[in-house]
Structures are given as structure tokens and as C-alpha cells.
Structure 1
Amino acid sequence: MWRFHDLLRKFWGDRRGNFATIFAIAAIPIVAAAGASVDISRAYIVETRLKAALDAAALAVGGATGQTNEQLQVLAQSFFNANYPASKIGVPGTLTVAQNGNVVTLSAHATLPTSLMGVVGIDTLDIAATSQVTRMGKKLEIALVLDNTGSMGSGGRMTVLKTAAKNLLTTVSAAALDPGDVKVAIVPFNIDVKVGTAYENANWLRWDEFVPSGGGGGGGGGNCHIILILLGLCNNSGGGSNPHAGWNGCVEDRDQNYDTLNTLPPATGGGSNATRYPAHENTSGNSNCNLQTIMPLSHNWTALATHIDNMVSAGNTNTTIGLAWGWNMLTPGAPLSAAAAPNNNLDKVILFLTDGDNTQNRWTTSSSQIDARTALVCTNIKAAGIKIYSVRVIDGNATLIRNCATDPGMYYSVNTASELTSVFASIAQSLSNLRISQ
């Protein structure tokens, strides 16, 4: 009997089998820790995709004014689904939208099933994200300074430009909280810009370099100087002469350095011609006045779209005059301008597009000399607090066009005309007066 008691005592006192028990118990937190690492990494990926999709949805609905919560929910859901493909990610996400005045708040939620953390009773991980967009309420004036030279008629450039520009109008118009908060001007250019013959008697025009042609005006008579009439060399039999005959409404660069400034011309007759705009005659064979006219700032979106549709491509390139008149459109009191005075609640922006090198201005056909004028007007515009987006289409001086932009991120260069659609969409979105506030 004593032997049995001794064996039993030794069995209870033996510690050699405890290792397996201790390891089994210790393995639980080890497995849980490893599982946590895997599951948390998966959760991080899901959260990143969730937040990116939420921000895309927030920007989309932030620009949609006059919509109910239900309408915003539908719009946001479409953008959310496009950026958060639940079937590929394997974790469904839910989205909710609420608006309060100028603030739109979006929340997203997803539940991630764990793979190994279940051994410690954690079967799912809750992932949530919130995004808030504030409609800033700032007003916006935009001048579209668009190359309408002959080269824009090739490779579908003008066709794509028209579509892209009209799409931009649609986007920025939706960002206006009230009618008139966003206005757009259109400045087509080649070596000239066209103000239109309706301004023939404007004080800001000068005619000292204009050579009349034809016999129009004042009753359809000739175009004779009084001395020629007295000598019998000219007959004004049709009625009074018109010293502006043959003008099609185009103007050239102002005298240097006013060609790169927004100095206002005299409000009345008299004074120096240096700040006035020289009328450009439409000489035989000159296609540079075959332009669409300038359209001052407006929020008549239908009229703006029609004006863009009516643009035509002709003539040579002088980017300086296009930028100068874009600046005019944003300058209070300048010719044709409907611009408001600068204030903290107003952004002024030029979107400048060209597809080639400078080839001709009022004085020269030297590209380098014209480039110097363009560089100067770009510098002066930016110094006045106006932002510039610049777009190079296939050709043109990349350095000049890039440096004209307010910063490198506001410069775009495309190799095919079709890329303009996405470029203008990107610019339109940044112009839409929205910001992700949280």
C-alpha cells in the first residue's frame, strides 16, 4: 500500500507535463495578436478606400444647390459606389447625407468580418468616416481667354474646346449659391480681339493708325479726303464720308507698356492716345478679324454657351492681347467690363488656353519679342491678385505658358485635343468654390 501512496505522491508532484498546458494557454494571445495585425491591416485598407469615396461624393453633392436630402443621397451614392466598389473590396459600405444651410455632411460605415481575432471574441471591426463640405459662398469672376487662331481648326481642337468649355460653364454655374455669384467672360483671340462695331464711337478707341476702306457709312457714299474732292480725284456722291469705313470691330495691342497693363483709358474725348485701343483695319486677305466677339462677364449660361459655340478659328497668334483683355474683363471700369471691385469675398480667375507659338503682334513677327510681352502681362496680372490657369494644347512655348500660371499645379499640357475635356473638368471642379472642411 505504501508503494501506491508513493507513486501517487510522485505523480502529483511531477511538473514535466505543464509545458504543454502553459503553451496552449499562452498561444491564445499570440494567435490573437497575429490575427489583430492581419485584420487591422485589412481595416486600414477599407478605411482608406471609404474616406476617398466619401470625399469624392462630398465634392459632387457640395456643388448641387436647391436639392432635397433625398436627391443629394442619390447623387452622393452614385459617386460613392464608383469610388468604393464593394464587390471587389468584399466589405459593403453604407452612406448617409445631411445638409444644413451651406454645410453638407456625409457619413460612411462598413463592418469588416475578422479572420483570426474571433478567437478572443472579436468577430467584426466597425469602420466609419465622416466628410463635411462647406459651400464657401465666395463670389467668382472668370475670364476664359481662348486661342481662336487658325491652328485651332485642326485635329478637332476647336470642337473639343467648345464642348469642354461648355461643360465648365455647367459645373461652375452649379456652384453659385445665388444668381450672379459666379460670372464668366469669354475672350477669343488671335493677333487681335474683336470688340464689335457697336463700339465704333467709344472714347477708348483710337483711329490715328486706321486706314479706312470701301465707301460705307453715313449714307453709303465714298470715302474721300476733302483735298481729293477739291482736286476732282474723288467723288463722295453717295453721301457723307465715313472715316471708319471697313472696320470690322477688331482692335490691336495698345502702345507699350500699356499693352501689358490694365490702365484705364480716358473716360471722355481728348487726352493721350497711349492708353486707348487702336482700331485694326480689315485689310485685304487679313483673316485676323474673323473672330467671335468678346463677351463681358455674365451669368446668362445659355448665352455664354451659344457664344462659345459660335467661335471660329482663323489668323495668327498673339497671346499678349488675349491675356490683356482677359484682365480687362476682370477690371472695374475697363472697356466692356462688368467686373466688381476687388474684395475678400470675390475671386478673380483667368483660364488661358493656347495651342501654338506667338507669331505676330502690332509691331513684329518675332516670337521671342512677343513672348517677352506675354511674360510681362502674366506677371502683372498675378501681381494684381488674379489667379491664372494656363493650358497648352499640343504646341506652344511650354516654359512661357507654364510660367504664366499662378503655380505649377495650375498649368496643364495636353498631347491630344481629347484630353481637354478632363483638364477643363479638373479646373472647373477647383473653381467650383467648394472645400472639404472636415
Structure 2
Amino acid sequence: MFRSTTSHRALAPNGSGIRDRLCGFAADTSGNMSYLAIVGSLVMMVFGGVGVDMMHAELKRTKVQNTLDRAVLAAANIENVTDPRQVVEEYFTAMGMGDALTTVDFDQSATAKRVTATGNSAIASGFMSLIGVNSLDAYGLATAEHATANVEISMVLDISGSMGWNSKIVNMRSAARNFVDILMPPDGEALTTISIVPYNANVNLGTTTASYFTLDDLHDYSNCVIFDDAEFDTTGISPTEILTRLGHFDLNSTNEYTTAIPGPWCYTGNTGAVMAHSSDPAALKTHISGLNAGGNTAIDLGMKWGTALLDPAARPAISAMAGDGLVDAAFAARPAAYTDPETSKYIVVMTDGENTTQYDLKQRYKYGMSDVWIDDRGNSDPSDDRFSLLVRDRAGTTDDVYFWQRYENSYYSYRYRGAPDGGSNARRMSNADLFARFGTRAVAGKLYVQPYYDGYVSYNQYYDVYYAYEATVGPDPADARLDTICDAAKAQGVVVFAIGFEAPQRGLDAMRNCASSPAHFFDVNGADLEETFASIANTITQLRLTQ
């Protein structure tokens, strides 16, 4: 069996037990906080609160500063005609900080604008008031300027046939004109020169620019130049260097009645021509407005000339143009040296396509004399000229045979004779003159096809004249040449902006490779082209934060 026992304490009166417990609790020191710990905790709480106050103040300061940055950039834009104070005020109002803006100062001229603004927003402190700091200031300062330095620009513009599709040439002309307006504001100080370099299958220097360089004397019908691959390794073209002229020919026309080829591979006169270092916005925009689409695409040739017009080697040509009143005298010393710290050089190149095959006359048809004689009938009217072809050349004898072909009173006739039509009045045509008069197909059809049927010339002779031209550069070598000249330009410090305008992937890749960086490459469509040109122009005019 079990017995219960009770301790003496358990039998103590009730009041005495409570008193003992209270005394024990008062004497027990386990878990007590020292005075130092209490003070330390309070200090830590205060400093933690200070950190919270400071964090709130920094967030507010960041908001003030970001608003200042955006506001002064917008206000400093030369194109923004709104009063700079109003622009900055509107930014702060939109951010709900209208009372934080303290000052706005600005200076402006036709070519430069500088805006400085300050802001301050007081924040009531929480914990910091315990140490006597009742508020914190979130202060900000920002300065932006938009100014045009000495700038040389080459605009390398695609005018190939595909630019005529879907009004692309219209969009390009509008975008390029707006580009000029941004860089050359009305009544502004002239600091910028722009060269326009249109290109399709070639670059037409035009009669004006060509006269300040040295093209060979092959002919004077047109002014396009061909280059060897090695010539893309360097950026300069000296005005005294003899340049190889492209043959003047038309590879498509079959018109046998024409007095001049209707579609020359190189444009004639100043159609789609180069304009060098102009500071006249009206003249530049007029020239741009006259650009029309046609032909193949040779971006490498466009870049070669765009780069050459920024290279100091071209200075003698530009100086001579200034002396003749074609370039403002203030820019007679351009292109500036690449090392000139006060001058920036830019190329803006755009394409809607990709490099295609380039052609020239075969060497045997480009140089020397042809087998065709012309009788101009003793007058300057080319419409009644007569032509004959030497089909049998019996050297050292008088037994030569000439094919005569005539159109008289809408009647076609032909014959074979021992002398050219016109006799001693006839003269032998150079190949350059012959292919400037008729397309290669027209020469074959007019003078070779009947003698072929009659057994006087072989099919190979007829075929060779029909295709009197040959491919000189294919798409792959053209891409390689483009890469080379782009790299050469960038190595000299030229900034290259490259635009693919609704271009195929190969063209986009070429533009991306040519651009100074991924940020300098643009893949655009439709009306976005104008915005892209404007963005580039604003970048060139150096809209930036300076403080």
C-alpha cells in the first residue's frame, strides 16, 4: 500500500508562500539587462531610425535629380522652342514636385543652348528629430547643353532601283532634308559641312566634283570611277591621283535609233551626283529632293567616296572648290586633320538592299577603236548618221568588206561594199564613242545580227558584242570591300551610323558590321526612317548632360 507525505513548506500558511516567492524573484539576477545594455539599445534604435530617415531622403534626392536630368535635356534641345523655364517646370509638375524646383537658368544662341536647374525638397525627419534634426534636404543640380561643334558629315544615300518601291525614295528624301535642318538651323553659325554621296551601281561624281579630281581621259560622257580591292584599305583619294574611269555603256537598251544610250550604267551630268562639303542648307535640300531611284547597289563604292571626302587628302580639291565659290571660304581647309581635337567626322550610310554585281565593259570594248564607221553627213544632226561594220579585213589589200545598214523613209536596207558608207567622209568610231551611242544589245542587233545570218561574222562574235560588258565585282567581294573601308574609316576616328531601311538580312548584316557600334546601327521601316535620321542628327549636335 501507498502512503502520502506532505512537506513542511506545503503546509505553510498561504501568505507566507507568496512573500517567499516575491523575495526570491527580487533576489534572482538571471536575465536582467544592465544599464549599459539599455542605453546601447536606445542608441541603436536611434541610429537605425536615422538610417531609415536617410534612406527616405536619398530616394527623394534621386527622384529630384532624375527629374532635373530629364527636364534640362528636354529644355536644352535646340529644336524645342518652348521657354526652357516652362519646360523644366512642367516636368516637375508632372512628377508632383512642383514646389521642389528652385532655379532655372539658360543661355541660348542659334547653334547652342545651355540649361541649368536646381531643385530641393525638404523631408520631415522621424527619428532624427530625437537628436535635434527636424528635416532633411533632397538637393539636385543638372546642366545640359546642345551645341554643334566643327562637324564634317558624309551622307551616303542609296538611290538604287528598289528605293523606288513603296515610296521609299520619298521617305529618304524627307528624312535627309530634316537631317539637314537639324544640323543647320536658320541663321545659325556655320560650323557644319555636309557631303551628299548618292550611290546605286556606281557613284556619279558629277561634272562639278569630277573636275577637281583626276579621272583618266578614256571618255568624257560620265564620271564614275572603279577601284581595285587594295584601294579600300585606305581612306584617302588624292586629287592628283589618276582614277580609272568606268566605261560608258548601257547593258539593257535595244534601241537602234537612239542618238545616245538611254540608260547609262553611270549617270551623266549631275544626275544623282556627289555634292562636296556644302554649308548651304537650301542647296543641300534641293539636291536631295532631286535624287531618284534606279540601278543596282554598290554600297562599297558609296562608302569609299563618303570616306574619301572626310580624309585630309581631299583638301586640295575642297580648297580649289572654295576658291571657285563652290564651297564657303570658311571651309577651304577642310577636310580637317583626323587629329584635330575641334573637329568631329561622321558618316551616315543607309541602304534598302544589299551589294549586287558590278559591271564594266570588257577591256577589248572599253579601250581602242571599234570596227564601226560613222558618216555624220556633214552636219551636227545625229538623227541622219549612217553606220557600217567592217566584216572582212584583208590587210594590205583593197578587198575589205563593209556591212552597210540604212533606214531611209522608214525603209530598212543593207548591203556589203568595199568601203564604208560615206566613203572618205566616214570615220572610224572608238569603242567609247560606239557604246556611248548604242546599248550593247543594240550594237549587236543593228550591226552584227545580219552579217551573222549571212556568214560574215560568227555567232561567238555576235554573242560577244551583245554581252560586251562583264562582271567586275560580285556581292561577296563587294561585302568584303565594304567591311574593309568601314574599318579603315573607324580606325581614323570617323563615327559611322549605318541604317538598314527595310533591307534584307544580308544588307542588315553589312550595315551592322559597318556601324561604329551596335548602338550606331538601325534597322528601320517606313516612316521610322525620318525619326532615325533626326535621332542621329541630335546625337551629332551633342545634346548631353554636362553636370
Settle same-fold status: TM greater than 0.5.
Answer: yes
Are 1:400 and 2:510 counterparts?
yes
**Correspondence for 1:278:** 246
Q: For the Cα contact (< 8 Å) 2:103–2:117, is it kept in 1?
A: yes
Q: Which residue of 2 aligns with 1:75?
A: 84
Label 1:146 to 1:134 Cα distance change in 2 as closer, same or farther (>3 A). same
Q: CA deviation at 1:265?
A: 4.7
* Structure 1 residues 320-368: Cα deviation after superposition (integer angstroms, max 9, x where no partner): 1111111122134539646333122211111111121111324446321
For 1:345, the aligned partner's letter is E
Between the aligned partners of 1:327 and 1:370, the Cα distance in structure 2 is: 16
- Give a deviation string over 1:285-338, Cα, whole Å, max 9, x none: 457638522221122122222222322222211001111111122134539646
Q: Does 1:258 align with 2:224?
A: no
Q: What is aligned with 1:145?
A: 156
Q: What is the deviation of 1:74?
A: 1.7
Distance 1:117 1:97, change over 3 A: farther
The 3 A distance-change label for structure 1 pair 384 and 280 is: farther
Post-superposition offset of 1:109: 1.0
| Structure-2 change in CA distance of 1:203 and 1:308 (3 Å) | closer
2:487 is the counterpart of 1:379: yes
**Of 332-341 and 301-310, the range deviating more from structure 2:** 332-341
Q: 2-side partners of 1:405 and 1:435: how far apart?
A: 21
Which residue of 345, 350, 353 corresponds with 1:348? 345
CA contact (8 A) 2:197 2:306 kept: yes
- Identify which of structures 1 and 2 has the higher relative contact order when contacts are C-alpha pairs closer than 8 Å and 6+ apart: 1
For residues 364 and 341 of structure 1, what CA distance do their matches in structure 2 show?
A: 34
With 312-321 and 25-34 compared, the bigger mean Cα shift is at 25-34
- Structure 2 residue identity aligned to 1:393: F
Q: Which amino acid counterpart does residue 404 of structure 1 have in structure 2?
A: C
Aligned residues: CA RMSD = 4.4
Q: Which moved more, 1:339-348 or 1:102-111?
A: 102-111
Q: 2:534 aligns with which of 417, 421, 425?
A: 425
Shift in Å, 1:81: 3.2
Amino acid at match of 2:83: V
1:197 paired with 2:207, answer yes
Separation in structure 1 between the aligned mates of residue 510 and residue 280 of structure 2, nearest angstrom: 33
- Structure 1 pair 116–431 and aligned structure 2 pair: CA distance change class (3 A): same
Q: Are the aligned partners of 1:35 and 1:115 in contact in 2 as well (CA < 8 Å)?
A: no
Query: Shift in Å at residue 395 of structure 1?
Result: 1.8
Q: In the aligned structure 2, how far is the partner of 1:287 from the partner of 1:279?
A: 9
Q: Is the 8 A contact 2:236 2:312 kept in 1?
A: no
Q: Secondary structure at the match of 2:294?
A: coil
Q: 1:325 aligns with which of 299, 305, 309?
A: 305
Preserved CA contact (<8 Å) 1:103 1:135: yes
**Per-residue CA distance 1:384-414 (angstroms, 9 max, x = gap):** 3322121222324333322212233222222
CA distance in 2, matches of 1:346, 1:55: 27
Question: Contact 2:350–2:500 at 8 Å: present in 1 too?
Answer: yes
Letter in 2 for 1:97: D
1:436 aligns with 2:545: yes
My pick for the range that moved more, 368-377 or 111-120, is: 111-120
Q: How big is the shift at 1:255? A: 3.7
Q: Distance in 1 between matches of 2:78 and 2:231?
A: 42
- Higher alpha-carbon Rg: 2
- Of residues 185, 193, 217, the one that matches 2:195 is 185
Question: Residue 431 of structure 1: CA displacement?
Answer: 1.0
Seen in structure 2, the aligned counterparts of structure 1 residues 258 and 64 have a Cα distance that, compared at 3 Å, is same
Aligned equivalent of 1:106, options 116, 124, 127: 116
| Alignment partner, residue 230 of structure 1 | none
Residue pair 2:248, 2:265 contacting (<8 A) in 1 also:
no
Report the counterpart of residue 306 of structure 1 in structure 2.
286
Aligned to 2:105: 97
Greater mean deviation of Cα atoms: 128-137 or 183-192? 128-137
Q: Find the aligned partners of 1:201 and 1:140 in 2 and give their Cα distance.
A: 25
Q: Which residue of 1 aligns with 2:277?
A: 297
Task: Give runs of aligned pairs for residues 115-154 of structure 1, distance below 5 A.
Answer: 116=126, 120=130, 124-133=135-144, 138-154=149-165
Q: Which residue of 2 aligns with 1:388?
A: 496
Whether the 8 Å contact between 1:138 and 1:181 is mirrored in structure 2 is yes
Using the size of structure 2 for normalisation, the TM-score is 0.57
Deviations 1:80-137 (A, max 9, x none): 63587223x6875344114499894512214255485696576654322222346777
User: What secondary structure sits across from 2:277 in the alignment?
Assistant: strand
- Going from structure 1 to structure 2, the CA distance change for 1:124 and 1:298 (only over 3 Å counts) comes to farther
Cα distance in 1 for partners of 2:87, 2:108 equals 21
In structure 2, the gaps of 5 or more residues are 1-25, 27-32, 34-38, 251-260, 319-326, 328-333, 360-470
| Residue equivalent to 2:170 | 159
Asked if 1:173 is matched to 2:222, the reply is: no
Partners of 1:39 and 1:159 in 2: CA distance: 59
Amino acid at match of 1:331: D
For the 8 Å contact 2:490–2:496, the answer to whether it is kept is yes
Identify if the C-alpha distance between structure 1 residues 108 and 183 changes in structure 2 by more than 3 Å, giving closer, same or farther.
same
1:138-179 deviation line (CA, Å, top 9, x unaligned): 411111111122222334433333333333323333599x73
User: In structure 2, how many angstroms separate the alpha carbons of the residues matched to 1:386 and 1:349?
Assistant: 5
Amino acid at match of 2:529: L
Query: Structure 1 pair 193/72, CA: closer, same or farther in 2 (3 Å)?
Result: closer
Q: Report if aligned partners of 2:356, 2:475 keep a CA contact under 8 Å in 1.
A: yes
Structure 2 distance, partners of 1:192, 1:341, is 27
Is 1:50–1:84's contact at 8 Å kept on the other side of the alignment?
no
Q: How many residues align?
A: 374
| Secondary structure of the structure 1 residue equivalent to 2:201 | coil
Rounded to whole Å, the distance in 1 between the matches of 2:288 and 2:120 is 46
Q: TM-score of the superposition, structure 1-length normalised?
A: 0.69
| Partner AA of 1:143 in structure 2 | S
Distance 2:48 2:472 in 1: 74
